[in-house]
Amino acid sequence: MKKTLPFDTTSGDYLSVLLSLWLPRYGWLVLLPIVVCAVAGFVFDERLLLVALMLLFIVVPMLISFLYTYYMLAPEARRAVIRKEVEIAEGDYLKLTYLDPEKKSADEKADRAGRMLLPIAKEEDKAPLPPLPLPKPEKIAWQDVVGVKYTSRFTVYLLRGPRLNFLLIPHSAMTKDASV
């Protein structure tokens, strides 16, 4: 049994892994009309090249925004990116324990504010938002793990579900002494 160090992932990491899983499966459906229009434009009529460019620069960004709204705004996406620890018993279960987010230091906040282009409101001007409740710890049976994929930065556990659910575990959270 292995236990990870506490970690969180960003929504950008989640989206990049989502695209790396989605594109090999469905990407040809997006590229096929563009390629057909481009080839037909070179062979028959140049106006079809404009159609290919419209597909590329209008339709493809709309599809990416659909991916964002369908997958990234789902409750599963929040559970995938919040701070957690994972206990892995291969062949048995994955146990996710959700943790409170780390408080950012004043230096980190000032550094981020300095990098932003627009001025931001001062801390005293902002009304504090109530924190979202943490999900309860959950145990995922190993039968619901469809597969495991390794990327350069993450171990991705593909999970069975109505949407393309997966769990990202950074390699940095898996230490040699993380075994329990």
Q: What is the pLDDT of residues 49-66, one digit of tens each?
A: 999 999 999 999 998 888
* Residue 137 neighbours by CB distance under 10 Å: 12
d(CA 6, CA 9): 11
pLDDT of 78 strictly over 70: yes
What single-letter DSSP state applies at residue 151? -
Predicted pLDDT at 69: 86
Backbone phi, psi, residue 7, to 5°: -150, 160
CA angle 77/79/85 to nearest 5° reads 135
Three-state SS at 84: strand
Count CA atoms closer than 13 A to 48's CA, side-chain side. Answer: 13
Output the pLDDT for position 48.
96
pLDDT at res. 176: 65
127-152 confidence digits (pLDDT tens): 667 778 888 998 989 999 999 999 99
The pTM assigned to this predicted structure is 0.74
